[in-house]
């Protein structure tokens, strides 16, 4: 179902973090916070130096892969 409303009448704010279109009633959530259950480990981000090195190593590996048409499903097309 497609709603043909450009929400030009504005938004009502019936509850904190929620907005509703005055015309069609579409709900828009204005506050978002990812829920994380307790006990999960925290996300680790690598140092920029390490991330850059990993990107370069991956690019080098991809650049040096032999080009084989069969890998792309074009082996019988040639």
- Give dist(CA 51, CA 60) in Å, integer: 14
Check if the beta carbon of residue 7 is closer than 8 Å to that of residue 21.
Answer: yes
Token output for 57: 């190593």
The full DSSP string for 42-72 is PP----HHHHHHHHHHHHHHHHTS---GGGG
The yes-or-no verdict on residue 14 having pLDDT over 80 is yes
pLDDT digits (tens, 9 = 90+) for 16-63: 888 999 988 888 888 776 666 778 777 777 788 898 999 999 999 988
Global pTM? 0.38
Cα–Cα distance, 77 to 54 (Å, whole number) = 36
């Amino acid at each position: 179902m497609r709603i043909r409303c450009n929400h030009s009448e504005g938004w009502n704010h019936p509850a904190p973090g929620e907005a509703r279109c005055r015309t069609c009633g579409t709900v828009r959530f204005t506050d978002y916070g990812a829920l994380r259950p307790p006990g999960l480990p925290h996300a680790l981000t690598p140092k920029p130096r390490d991330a850059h090195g990993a990107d370069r190593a991956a690019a080098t590996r991809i650049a040096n892969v032999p080009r084989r048409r069969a890998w792309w499903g074009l082996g019988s097309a040639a």
